[in-house]
């Protein structure tokens, strides 16, 4: 699949953004091991979360899609051995969270993934889980993961070497099946959806800014989960509006958990006009209606302390930097090199094709604001890279073709329709469509 995006004048309006990916994964997994009924609304029916749903089903969890964005789970019967390897597709979150959960089960299991996931580092979870007593075999620290069953897990006090909510969550999930207390110390605050949802489901878990303590061996009680719209998806529409002319867009019911709002702070520092209205709670998660207006951006030095609070938004922030007056420097973003693609390299490559100067360093980049031309860019199969270039294309000099866009469905099904509803000329082609090339 590929996109062709025309330079377009964005229209003002209101849009609905699909559900939060991180919260949808957690609602499924925690609902699957909770006693009683968990009813999820606002669920993200993206491929990543559907992989999590299929894995739980294959382990005998009673789980039904009761609507496009509704899921009902009747938990409490425990998990049973799946008939074969469980495919996590493109999802690092699914693989790492399941590795924690499965380390504490009575049966052995195997987790596999697609070509991108098969290259992503798993030592970061294997190490702490092994210290807790798990046995996990990998291919040189990468998937597939073979997780042995019937291990006795003990508590752990673990200082994370990298700021990662996925690693933190894997340890907490294993901790639910361990004897003894689990303490996780983070080098920087990361998204805390696991902790909030565990609390909602009756688990005793205490957290300070960068330390989480949870007594092991606890059970969960099913609950209702209303999933907010995903700020990481909303961010694409936010930036498209900012770089448009005289435009105002409202995004309703978007998650604004402070461990996720780094992108708003960084864009505001660059001059963006973004306001949060009607702030309220969906369970333990804060949500707001976000109103964004077209604004002039200027380059900044992005504070490395905000990196873990905006970890998925850097591809898009590279586009903001390209559209800003002056230069923007990013430091401390080395983690981007081990996401769905090497996001520093893929963004630098695509921006250069579009006429923007980028100086790359091992853990950062300097992006020189300029004029976006047009041409053909590669997404390297990375959903966020593909969507970032689609946003850039709205302000390009001529059409932009973006290769390898199928992965957009992992996190933002309906992305093309959403942009079209705001007047963007975007078309998606299957690679064997006749005459697909622009």
Shortest reach from residue 312's CB to ligand S3P, in Å: 5
Residue 312 annotated in active site = yes
Q: Pick from 2, 1, 4, 9: which is nearest to 395 by CA? A: 9
Helices 193-200 + 165-175 axis angle, to 10: 30
DSSP letters of 66-93? EETTEEEEEE-S-----SS-EE-TT-HH
User: Which residue of 2, 151, 191, 401 would you call a contact of ligand S3P, by CB under 6 A?
Assistant: 191
Q: How far apart (Å, rounded) are the C-alpha atoms in residues 292 and 239?
A: 9
Task: Considering only the stretches 165-173, 200-208, 243-251, 323-331, report the one whose residues sit in contact with ligand S3P under the rule CB under 6 A.
Answer: 165-173
Q: Which residues pair with 63 in a beta bridge?
A: 73
Q: How far apart (Å, rounded) are the C-alpha atoms in residues 215 and 192?
A: 17
Residue 228's SS3 state is coil
- Are 192 and 257 contacting, i.e. CB atoms less than 8 angstroms apart? yes
- Residue 196 touches ligand S3P, criterion: CB under 6 A: no
- Are 166 and 125 contacting, i.e. CB atoms less than 8 angstroms apart? yes
Nearest residue (CB) to ligand S3P, 291 versus 318? 318
Task: Considering only the stretches 55-63, 159-167, 205-213, 360-368, report the one whose residues sit in contact with ligand S3P under the rule CB under 6 A.
Answer: 159-167
DSSP letters of 194-243? HHHHHHHTT---EE-SSEEEE-SS---B--EEEPPBPHHHHHHHHHHHHH
Tokens describing residue 282: 């969906």
Task: Considering only the stretches 110-118, 158-166, 341-349, 357-365, report the one whose residues sit in contact with ligand S3P under the rule CB under 6 A.
Answer: 158-166
User: Which residue of 8, 166, 295, 388 would you call a contact of ligand S3P, by CB under 6 A?
Assistant: 166
Where in 88-127 is the site for ligand S3P (CB under 6 A)? 93
Tokens describing residue 267: 């864009």
The active-site residue, picked from 20, 289, 312, 404, is 312
User: Which residue of 8, 22, 58, 233 would you call a contact of ligand S3P, by CB under 6 A?
Assistant: 22
Nearest residue (CB) to ligand S3P, 97 versus 367? 97
Nearest residue (CB) to ligand S3P, 164 versus 428? 164
Where in 298-337 is the site for ligand S3P (CB under 6 A)? 311-312, 335
- Residue 254 touches ligand S3P, criterion: CB under 6 A: no
Shortest reach from residue 145's CB to ligand S3P, in Å: 16
Q: Which 8-state DSSP code applies to residue 297?
A: -
Q: Pick from 301, 381, 306, 302: which is nearest to 339 by CA? A: 381
Phi, psi of 148 (to 5 degrees): -80, 145
Shortest reach from residue 21's CB to ligand S3P, in Å: 7
User: Which residue of 24, 116, 164, 394 would you call a contact of ligand S3P, by CB under 6 A?
Assistant: 164
Shortest reach from residue 189's CB to ligand S3P, in Å: 11
Task: Considering only the stretches 79-87, 163-171, 313-321, 370-378, report the one whose residues sit in contact with ligand S3P under the rule CB under 6 A.
Answer: 163-171
Nearest residue (CB) to ligand S3P, 286 versus 369? 286
Nearest residue (CB) to ligand S3P, 151 versus 260? 260
Tokens describing residue 241: 């509006």
Q: Which residue's CB comes closest to ligand S3P?
A: 22
Nearest residue (CB) to ligand S3P, 191 versus 327? 191
Nearest residue (CB) to ligand S3P, 105 versus 169? 169
Sign, CA torsion 164/308/314/425: positive
Tokens describing residue 247: 């435009």
How many CB atoms within 10 Å of residue 65? 14
Q: Pick from 287, 173, 275: which is nearest to 226 by CA? A: 287
Pairing of strands 224-226, 273-282: unpaired
For ligand S3P (CB under 6 A), the number of binding residues is 11
Element (H, E) at 415: helix 415-421
Nearest residue (CB) to ligand S3P, 29 versus 324? 29
Number of helices and strands (H, E) in the chain? 12, 23
- Residue 165 touches ligand S3P, criterion: CB under 6 A: yes
Q: How far apart (Å, rounded) are the C-alpha atoms in residues 97 and 416?
A: 30
User: Which residue of 24, 58, 105, 190 would you call a contact of ligand S3P, by CB under 6 A?
Assistant: 190
Task: Considering only the stretches 164-172, 263-271, 298-306, 430-438, report the one whose residues sit in contact with ligand S3P under the rule CB under 6 A.
Answer: 164-172
Catalytic residues: 312
Could you list the residues that contact ligand S3P (CB under 6 A)? 22, 93, 164-166, 169, 190-191, 311-312, 335
């Amino acid at each position: 699949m590929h996109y062709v995006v025309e330079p377009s004048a964005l229209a003002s309006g209101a849009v609905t953004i699909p559900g939060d990916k991180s919260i949808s994964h957690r609602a499924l997994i925690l609902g699957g091991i909770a006693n009683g009924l968990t009813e999820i609304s606002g669920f993200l029916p993206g491929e990543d979360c559907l992989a999590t749903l299929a894995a739980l089903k294959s382990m005998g969890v009673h789980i039904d899609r009761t609507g496009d964005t509704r899921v009902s789970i009747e938990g409490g019967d425990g998990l049973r051995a799946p008939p074969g390897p469980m495919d996590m597709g493109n999802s690092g979150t699914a693989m790492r969270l399941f590795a924690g959960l499965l380390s504490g089960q009575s049966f052995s299991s195997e987790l596999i993934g697609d070509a991108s996931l098969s290259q992503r580092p798993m030592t970061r979870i294997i190490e702490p889980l092994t210290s807790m007593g798990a046995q996990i075999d990998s291919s040189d620290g990468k998937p597939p993961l073979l997780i042995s069953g019937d291990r006795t897990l003990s508590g752990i006090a673990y200082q994370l070497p990298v700021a990662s909510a996925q690693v933190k969550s894997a340890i907490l999930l294993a901790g639910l099946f361990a004897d003894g207390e689990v303490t996780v110390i983070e080098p920087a605050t990361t998204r805390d959806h696991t902790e909030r949802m565990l609390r909602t489901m009756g688990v005793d878990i205490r957290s300070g800014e960068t330390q989480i303590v949870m007594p092991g061996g606890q059970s969960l009680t099913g609950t209702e989960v209303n999933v907010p719209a995903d700020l990481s998806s909303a961010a694409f529409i936010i930036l498209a509006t900012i770089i448009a002319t005289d435009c105002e867009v409202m995004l309703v019911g978007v998650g604004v958990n402070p461990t996720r709002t780094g992108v708003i702070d960084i864009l505001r520092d660059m001059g963006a006009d973004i306001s949060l209205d009607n702030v309220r709670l969906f369970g333990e998660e804060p949500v707001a209606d976000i109103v964004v207006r077209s604004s002039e951006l200027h380059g900044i030095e992005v504070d490395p302390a905000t990196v873990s609070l905006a970890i998925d938004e850097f591809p898009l922030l590279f586009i903001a930097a390209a559209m800003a007056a002056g230069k923007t420097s990013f430091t401390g973003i080395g983690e981007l090199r081990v996401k769905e693609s090497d996001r520093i390299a893929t963004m630098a490559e695509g921006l250069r094709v579009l006429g923007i100067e980028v100086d790359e360093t091992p853990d950062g980049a300097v992006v020189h604001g300029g004029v976006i031309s047009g041409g053909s860019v590669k997404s390297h199969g990375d959903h966020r890279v593909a969507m970032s270039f689609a946003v850039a294309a709205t302000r390009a000099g001529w059409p932009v073709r973006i290769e390898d866009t199928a992965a957009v469905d992992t996190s933002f099904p309906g992305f093309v329709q959403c942009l079209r509803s705001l007047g963007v000329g975007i078309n998606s082609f299957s690679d064997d469509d006749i005459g697909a090339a622009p």
